[in-house]
Amino acid sequence: MATTDDGYMRFFPFEEPYDHQQEAMGTIYDALEEGRDVLFEGACGTGKTLASLVPALEHARETGKTVVITTNVHQQMRQFVEDARAITDKERLRAVVFRGKGSMCHIDVDYEECQALRDTTRDLVEVESDIAELEQREGELLSDGQAGSSEAMEARNAVVEELRDLQDEREEIETERSTCDHYYRNLTVDTSEFYAWLFDDVRTPDDVYEYAHEQGLCGYELLKEAMDGVDLVVCNYHHLLDPTIREQFFHWIGRDPEDIIAVFDEAHNVESAARDHARRTLTENTLDQAILELDSEEDARADAAANVIETFRDALVEAYEDSFEFGARAAVDEHWDDITIANDDRKDDLTLAFLQGYTGPGFHEELDRALELGRDLDARYQEAFKKGELDTRKECQTLQAAGFIADWLDESDETGQYPVVSVRRDESTDKVYGRAELYTCIPEEVTRDLFEDLHAAVLMSATLRPFDVTENVVGAEDPVTMAYGAQFPEERRRTYAVDGPALFSSERDDPQTQQRIARTLEDIVRFTPGNTLVFCPSYSEAERYHDMTAVSATRYLDEPGTQARDLREAFTSGDDGVLYTSLWGTLGEGVSYDGDDARTVVVVGVPYPHLDDRMDAVQNAYDTTFGEDEDDAGWRYAVEIPTVRKTRQALGRVVRSPEDFGARILLDKRYTEAAEMEMHDYAVRGTFPPEERREMVDIGPEKLKFAMLNFYQDMGAYDGPPPKP
């Protein structure tokens, strides 16, 4: 075990670490020395970020590696910046906070257009550099010629001819081809002042954008150049989870994967994030555009490409049209809605429709020709944009369509790719159109290679247990595991498991059940000396209880598509409000409600996710992969554990410091200890970690208000006379 005398303490920015924090740092440092991954669960107040970052930075400094810390939560990104600034005040770091090009581009072009603009701009700068060199050489030769050297005059004539050609090329680029003024300045002015400014502190992407905007520079490209060999990079998940982006990202850092130590924050989200990054889609509109693209081509390969793409397009339409029952087409709205195409005993409906509809020499052969033609067209579009023949960088729809179709037809059930067709309505045309998707069920297929390639990874979260499930799902091989429970005084919090109605989906519409829930929520809000957070299984349930509860507190309703940040600010600006939201929304994790921001948090029901075909596919995939070792592995891995993690995240929104206090309420009898015996198959208490179960107090809904009154009186929380029961 490392001690406080060990070298990594130079990166610890405060006077002394907590005892558990010191222990965690030593464990992580030893694991990194062995090149092992770490699964690290720590409740709020554990100091997980510094406990992970400090030993990682020390090991990286000793071995010439780079630490990459990554999250998918914006608030955590800001916390990382604050921690990095605190560290660099004590021990100098070269740190970069990186964000995607889309939010940093000054002229708002996509990646492909940006690449073409950079290529042309670089060509222009190189031509100008060559012109400058030749002009200097021409002047020297002229001087020698005027001094009487005939050889110099002859050489000068050749230089003048070459110079004239380069000047014509420069004029052609400037008048007929597209360049980027911001990137041009990057290449032609002294940027040393920018890099001195960048590494004088830990700068955010917004800081870089503003600095670059003032100087007429491209901050994104400067930031990429600055990453080479830095100590620390702060970034979003997609920089590591997307294989294509990851390869470029490590290239910019100037490190091979084995020289990267990755720290994943909110690592319970890695499973779903990896699944999202692996999904691939192809819309009917792209297929139509590919067919139009091929119609204008005289290339001999165009007919073969059009044949296979048209057949797939017709099969997609047939698959979703055949799924519509009477009136279903009219009900399609602007949101993508899945339809069932998978079959237990044969290929999916889209593949079957394609195979039945295809006629030709062989679809594999025609797909190969479509891919060849698509690559050639894409290269032609790139060159045309560089030369200024196109105002924007044109995407090759044939290449996109053919690549996806090839993957679709090559995928098998063993790959964990689930075939999906979805439909939506285009509001501008009122047309219904479809989308094919390959949905990745097993995130391990995305993450295992990453973890194997990295030197090591630290996955940290307040809700990472059970560790064996995390290890299996993401493919972490033989990781070091450690968990630290709540560090704040236990007497300043209460966790109540209320023996109220079990909100099974079949009972949620029962008026009597709804009334019992609403009356219990009214008691909770009334006896909370401050703000109350109410997490429901869905937005529709949140709206229901927002409308049903009669309380004097100001009511706030979170709705899908609204700005959660503005809602949170309005809610926390007062001290007598109740906010109703979905557990699966954006307010359930990564958001702190400190002190008076929220005193009580309620989770209504066991908020299982919507159980659709995709979730069934994930369950089946987990059953196939892990079923030999565990009964009901699919349900447990795919549904129950993610739901309880979400619930634990919601409970963690209150009591955020040693001085803070609050009540956490689980409003459903399935959380109670009695349910373990009385309704064993449906009870969920056993999925919580042991120390959290020990804190749960089973209580009847009619007694809850008395318990809350006593607790908050003990905390001295009521400003005046307490409410009367």
Tokens 């285009």 locate to 426
pLDDT value at position 3? 44
Residue ranges per structural domain of the chain = 7-106+192-277+448-483, 111-179, 280-443, 488-715
Q: How far apart (Å, rounded) are the C-alpha atoms in residues 10 and 91?
A: 7
The residue count of the chain comes to 725
Any bridge partners for residue 235, and if so which?
A: 70
Tokens 């005993």 locate to 345
Which parts of 177-218 fold into alpha helices (H)? 181-188, 192-198, 205-215
Angle made by CA atoms 543, 548, 553, in degrees to the nearest 5: 90
**Class in CATH terms, 7-106+192-277+448-483:** alpha beta
Q: Which helix (H) or strand (E) holds 556?
A: strand 554-557
Q: How far apart (Å, rounded) are the C-alpha atoms in residues 39 and 270?
A: 12
pLDDT value at position 394? 84
Quote the strand ranges of 452-531, DSSP E.
456-461, 480-484, 493-498
Q: Could you name the CATH architecture of 488-715?
A: 3-Layer(aba) Sandwich (3.40)
Q: How far apart (Å, rounded) are the C-alpha atoms in residues 294 and 285?
A: 14
Contacts of 391 (CB under 8 A, 6+ apart): 178
CB 535 within 8 A of CB 650: yes
Any bridge partners for residue 337, and if so which?
A: 423
Q: Which tokens is 620 given?
A: 């089946």
HSE-CB of 246 using CA atoms within 13 angstroms: 21
What DSSP state is assigned to residue 638?
I
Q: How far apart (Å, rounded) are the C-alpha atoms in residues 158 and 673?
A: 93
C-alpha Rg value of the chain to the nearest Å: 31
pLDDT value at position 109? 84
Contacts of 272 (CB under 8 A, 6+ apart): 443, 642
Q: How far apart (Å, rounded) are the C-alpha atoms in residues 493 and 695?
A: 9
pLDDT value at position 413? 47
What is the torsion angle, in degrees rounded to the nearest 10, for the CA atoms of residue 672, residue 678, residue 682 and residue 685? 30
How many CB atoms within 10 Å of residue 196? 9
Q: How far apart (Å, rounded) are the C-alpha atoms in residues 683 and 451?
A: 34
Which residue stretches of the chain have pLDDT < 50? 1-4, 413
Contacts of 303 (CB under 8 A, 6+ apart): none
Helix, strand and coil percent figures for the chain, each rounded to 5 = 55, 15, 30
HSE-CB of 185 using CA atoms within 13 angstroms: 15
381-390 contact pairs (CB < 8 A, 24+): 382/112, 382/115, 382/116, 385/113, 385/116, 385/178, 386/116, 386/119, 386/120, 386/123, 386/177, 386/178, 387/120, 387/176, 387/177, 388/120, 388/173, 388/175, 388/176, 388/177, 388/178, 389/176
The type of residue at 20 is: H
Q: How far apart (Å, rounded) are the C-alpha atoms in residues 384 and 247?
A: 27
pLDDT value at position 4? 43
Residue 41: exposure state from Cβ atoms within 10 A (0-12, 13-18, ≥19)? buried
pTM (2 d.p.): 0.89
Quote the strand ranges of 402-447, DSSP E.
417-426, 431-440
Q: How far apart (Å, rounded) are the C-alpha atoms in residues 676 and 590?
A: 31
pLDDT value at position 415? 55
CB 359 within 8 A of CB 308: no
CB 455 within 8 A of CB 35: yes
Q: How far apart (Å, rounded) are the C-alpha atoms in residues 664 and 556?
A: 19
Rounded to 10°, the helix 111-146/181-188 angle is 50
Looking at 1.10.150.120, 1.10.275.40, 3.30.360.10, 3.40.50.10320, the CATH number of the domain 280-443 comes to 1.10.275.40
Q: How far apart (Å, rounded) are the C-alpha atoms in residues 348 and 312?
A: 13
**7-106+192-277+448-483 and 280-443 have identical folds:** no
Q: Which of 290, 447, 437, 296 is nearest to 374 (CA)?
A: 290
